[in-house]
A and B are shown apart, each in its own frame.
Chain A
């Protein structure tokens, strides 16, 4: 029988396609109400942290260096009150085989696909994850298809995304490039159904389990190098996988007092599905356009329940601007001799400012760097912005930044200042959405406990949010 491949028919078979493509039935984790068993979902991978580390070691993933950024720490102290300005360290994730921490997620997902006997893997991503899956598929002998949201309706794409397509192809993958819009999911499902390949989703428990080694390594390296746990870990935040996996790894290592901070580039005002605004942004990930919707409603990804859940782990959520990230990327190259891609440096821009709140002997770690190359570098990204009518100026980002209109490079490093987002508002938003989605007005005790865990709060906070 030939299946109808029109939009409505394919979308109507979404659950069935997903189940086949993940080898996992999410129904078994559902309570039928708001709550689902998150820890059972994470355990369903059946891989311990040690086993994950073994899988990664086999494919040149993990055990990346932890580098002290001495000059940037010194520079940051110039803008802090006496005795303040933490030591900043970077986990150099660009050293992973495909050039980013995403290799950790891909290693596990691809190994699992191979174990289950799938012939190939498929991933929907315009980011580093595509290259990571393609690289792992090449190593482990599976076919690979990467589906990218890449162009506006005129066929113009961000240089950063084009570079990631090139990298996927270099590893032997097919790259399907699409114009802006949520219908990407339809194309993705349709190809998945035709090929029978494994859905190497960014948000599967296998992917997130792969990131736990990152947090664990940070803890162990800090203890070995410095004799203490990190005081603060800052994670660039988009879909939530980085912060979730890193925090879980830190907790597994026993770092219970480490403050976990999510950092995103503020792109308020730009609509992510807008054709005309698609090329008005000058960074393609690590921004609030992904970060906030995924934090407040994790379950709108390409799996029924996302294993990446930002608000379960974040103590704070801060934002920085595009100009600050561009500036700090140049500073990393110029003062530390480390040239890396801009998007991964979102956490570094935030860390430069957050360090000034902490005493001099405090340890602040940024959880990643990413590779740089043609297109994926501040010069092509700024040049592309200028060609698209974006003003590039020096000034005070906090006062002058207008995403889609300008990029405000800080007029000196003292103007790199993170903004504190109202994390309690995000938490309330998650609680209200979760109730609405489940159609529940009278949550059970189990639901209340679940929502408290989902938001790193307590039952009282949840009740107050819901007016109970």
Chain B
């Protein structure tokens, strides 16, 4: 449960699939046009899935569905990609004949 003033992430549907402009590919036409933003919760308390209001970092008041409490980033340097060290090995071989 989040309390008033907590940092949360909200989601909303800006345009339903049938409201979208006609000048987009067919696959996109079938999807809702969605939006995410973050802010300080304005409601006294709320749970995931509730319709809430937040005040964003730019002081905007925005409504949406609460989807994440105390949101954080999880992107990283990714999983091991063996091809990358193959490139390193090859470059050293060509430039320095193997070990430097």
| A interface, CB within 8 angstroms of B | 7, 71, 74-75, 78, 120, 143-145, 150-151, 153, 155, 159, 162-163, 166, 169, 172-183, 186-187, 191, 194-195, 271, 273-277, 327, 330-331, 334-335, 374-375, 377-384, 386, 392, 394, 409, 412-413
Contacts and interface: CB of A to CB of B under 8 A. Distances in A.
B75 to A, nearest CB: 4
A174 B34 contact: no
Contact of A183 (B15, B57, B59, B87): B15
Given A143-B58, A409-B87, A7 B79 contact: no
B94 A412 contact: yes
A202 to B, nearest CB: 19
Nearest to A197: B58
B31 A380 contact: no
B60 A145 contact: yes
B78 A377 contact: yes
A273 B60 contact: no
30 contacts: A143-B59, A145-B60, A153-B28, A153-B32, A153-B34, A163-B75, A169-B38, A174-B56, A174-B60, A177-B36, A181-B20, A181-B28, A183-B14, A186-B15, A187-B14, A191-B60, A194-B60, A274-B25, A274-B27, A275-B25, A275-B28, A378-B81, A379-B77, A379-B80, A380-B76, A381-B78, A394-B83, A409-B87, A412-B90, A413-B94
B57 A169 contact: yes
A178 B35 CA distance: 5
A159 to B, nearest CB: 5
Interface string B1-40: 0000000000000110001110111011011111111110
Contact of B91 (A162, A182, A191, A335): A335
B86 interface: yes
A374 B87 CA distance: 20
Given A181-B33, A195-B58, A273 B78 contact: no
Interface residues of B, number: 43
B87 to A, nearest CB: 5
A75 B19 contact: no
B34 A179 contact: yes
Contacts of B56: 145, 174
